[in-house]
Every structure is written in C-alpha cells, then in structure tokens.
Chains A and B, each alone.
Chain A
Amino acid sequence: MPIRGRVTGTMTSDTDTLTAEDPITGEEIEIPADVEVGEIIDSPVTGTELEVISLDPVVLEEAPELEEDWGE
C-alpha cells in the first residue's frame, strides 16, 4: 500500500502555498496553492515524487514508481 499523509490544508495568502503532511517523513511541508488532484510534486524534504490524492483535505501519497511502458 502506498504511504499516505493527510492534514487539513491551510493557505497562507502572502505565500500562496498550502501546508500538508509529507507522507514519507510525517513533516509538515509547503506545496503550491494551485496544485490539483493527480498532480505530481516533489517533496521539499526528501525529493520524493508525491501525488496529490485530494484537496479537501489535502492528502499526498507517494507517487507510483516508473513502469516500463511509461513515456512518450
């Protein structure tokens, strides 16, 4: 099962970021406020690719690993 992190997202108007829980480390991280479901972001803590699972609340999950048929 993928690792999930969940926290109620809060937006800070001066930075246009949301805060969420890094599913790998459990740390609180800032992510762009305009993220959307399905988007892949890099964890600012570990660099791991995270997928945005939901926005209300903000749930991040470790993104699926590269598969052989991925690409152009």
Chain B
Amino acid sequence: MRVGVLYSRIRKDEKLLLNELRERDHEVEKIDVRKERFGLESTTAAVDDLDIVVDRCLSTSRSLYATRFIDSYGVPVVNSPETGDVCADKAKNSLALAEADVPTPATEVAFTTEAALEAIEEFGYPCVLKPVTGSWGRLMAKIDSRNAAEAILEHKETLGHYEHKVFYVQEFVDKPGRDIRVLAVDGEPIAAMTRSSDHWLTNAAKGGETASFDLDERAIELVEKASDAVGGGMLGVDLMEVGGEDSGEYTVHEVNHTVEFKALDSATEVDVPAKVVDWLEAKAAALADGAVSEVDA
C-alpha cells in the first residue's frame, strides 16, 4: 500500500504510526503541509499514486483545507473533510450527536454577551463555556457565579477572535472524576481508557491520569452511533458517565477527528498503531476493490 501522511509535526503518535507502516513494508509519503501548495486541479504534494492519505495535521485549519483539496483530486483521504468539518466545531459536533439521538450534554449557542448570559442563568451554576474550536481543554471555563460569567463574557468579547463571540454554553455534567476516551475506526472501538483528575478538566493533555477501560454494550452502541453521526473514520469519542462510576449510562460530549493515541497505547494492552494500520489496509483494499469493480462494470 502507498500511504500519504499529512503532517506538520511528527509527534510520538505519528512516529508510532510511521514505524508500524514501515515495518509492514508499506510505501510512506510524508507530506509536510507547510511546504506544499494546493491548487484547484493539482498540488505540489506527491499524492497522485497514493492508495490512501492519512490526515495527521496538528493544526485544525490545515487539516480541514488540506483534506478538502486532496479529496477534490480524487485521492482517498481519512478522515474525510466532511467528518473533519463536523468534528472541528463543537456546535456542529453537538448538533450531529443530537440529530442522531446520541445522548449529549444540553447546549446552547448565543452570539451576544447578553444572550449568552441569559443562557448561562437558565442553565444555572455551575455551567460551562467553551470555544467552538480548540482542543486540549484550552480556554474552557466552568462558571460558578454570575459575577464570573459577566467577567468571562466581557473578556471574550473584548479580547477574542470572532469565533470567541460564538458563545457555546453547556450544562455542567457532574462526572465521577473521570471521563472515557474511546479510539474507534468506523464505529468499531480499538481501545478505551479513563482519564481521571481532581480538576474538572480530565484531558490527558491537562495531566489527567489514564487507565484502561472495558466498554460495556451501551458504550459500544453509543460509540458506533456517534461515529456514524459525524461520518465515520478514525475518531476519538469522549464519553462521561452519568449517575456515577460504572452506572452504565453515558453522555457523549465530543468526537475528535485528528485523534491522538499515544496515551491509549501506553494505558492499554492494545497495540494501537497496529490496529490503526490494520484498518488503513482494509480501507485501502476496499477502495481498490471498488475501483476494480467500477472498471469491470
């Protein structure tokens, strides 16, 4: 298989993936998107003969545009630009989950500080204010009082990029000190872990402690539905337990499209990069079969 890897930064995640691909003797074309140009009909990137391209861009904006252009050239790319578009925006993400009847925290979007304050007061305290784009728990605010709400909204309005004036207000879910990260490929879980912290943010990037987690049937069902809701692909599905630890009831708060997996690889017994490459091989083989079928027809 000839695999293109879109990147701008080789982290441990990309290194694990590249090593696994090379160990299986796949041809790897590393594509540093910082050095390439993307035209309406072609690109300087060497994508023509690739069986599949994997997006590993750390920058969301680069990820969205690069995958959109590569898709336009007829080169298969995972994740698809459509999936990226939904996952990169928390408001679109929440809408997609709700439309698919996946339980997700109650959320409202408002465009002025006055309307946002109304939403916050209706949710009651504490509630959560998040940027619609962003990651690793950055700029997330747990709002405990009206005074705090007014101050945060004023700061966002005064200092923020226009996207920070899209106020994404969400109910605070009283999770049991942990949330659950599931890595799934087209809805099938590869590995799962909990991320625990005394802080309300439990992201691994924020220092949350990780531990392997066994998914029950309900969680597996929700992961599949959440994946379908955003268009499938290799995804990080984040769930919180509702009603206490091991309650068996969940809410899905987010689906991530350029998922990091080094923490999962360390926290679980699963060889995560091997599973990812298994999926890429199957995906490329299915695409090749489809192409042959089209020629035969």
A residues with a Cβ closer than 8 A to B are 36-40, 51-52, 63-64, 67-72
Task: Name the residue on B nearest A68 (C-beta).
Answer: B134
Determine the chain A residues whose CB is within 8 A of the CB of B9 once the complex forms.
38, 40, 51, 63-64
- In the complex, which residues of chain B have a beta carbon less than 8 angstroms from the beta carbon of A63? 9
Interface centre among A51, A52, A63, A70 (most CB of B within 10 A): A70
Q: Are B30 and A38 in contact (CB under 8 A)?
A: yes
Query: A37-B30, A38-B32, A39-B15 are contacts. A70–B59 as well, Cβ < 8 Å?
Result: yes
CB-CB nearest in chain B for A52: B10
Tell me the smallest distance from the CB of B294 to a CB of chain A, in Å: 35
Which residues of chain B are within 8 angstroms of A68 by Cβ–Cβ distance? 133-134, 138, 161
A72's partner among B8, B61, B135 (CB-CB below 8 A) is B135
Q: Known contacts A38-B9, A40-B10, A40-B11; decide if A71 and B18 are in contact (CB<8 Å).
A: no
B239-247, B253-261, B280-288 - the one binding chain A: B253-261
B250 within 8 A of A: no
Identify whether the interface residues of A are mostly helix, strand, loop, or mixed: loop
Q: Does B251 contact A (CB under 8 A)?
A: no
Nearest CB of B to A42, in Å: 11
* Nearest-Cβ distance from residue A21 to partner chain B, whole angstroms: 20
A-B contact count (CB 8 A): 53
Contact (Cβ within 8 A) A72 B30: no
Which chain A residues border B260 with CB–CB below 8 Å? 72
Q: Is the CB of B10 within 8 A of A70?
A: no
In the assembled complex, the CB of B105 is this many whole angstroms from the nearest CB of chain A, namely 18
Q: A37-B10, A38-B32, A72-B257 are in contact. List 16 more A-B contacts (CB 8 A).
A: A36-B10, A36-B30, A38-B9, A38-B10, A38-B30, A40-B10, A40-B11, A63-B9, A64-B9, A70-B59, A70-B60, A71-B134, A71-B205, A71-B258, A72-B236, A72-B256
**Most interface-central of B8, B15, B161, B236 (chain A CB within 10 A):** B15
B58 at the interface (CB under 8 A from A): yes
C-alpha spacing A21/B135, complex, angstroms: 33
* B168 located at the interface, meaning its Cβ lies under 8 Å from any Cβ of chain A in the complex: no
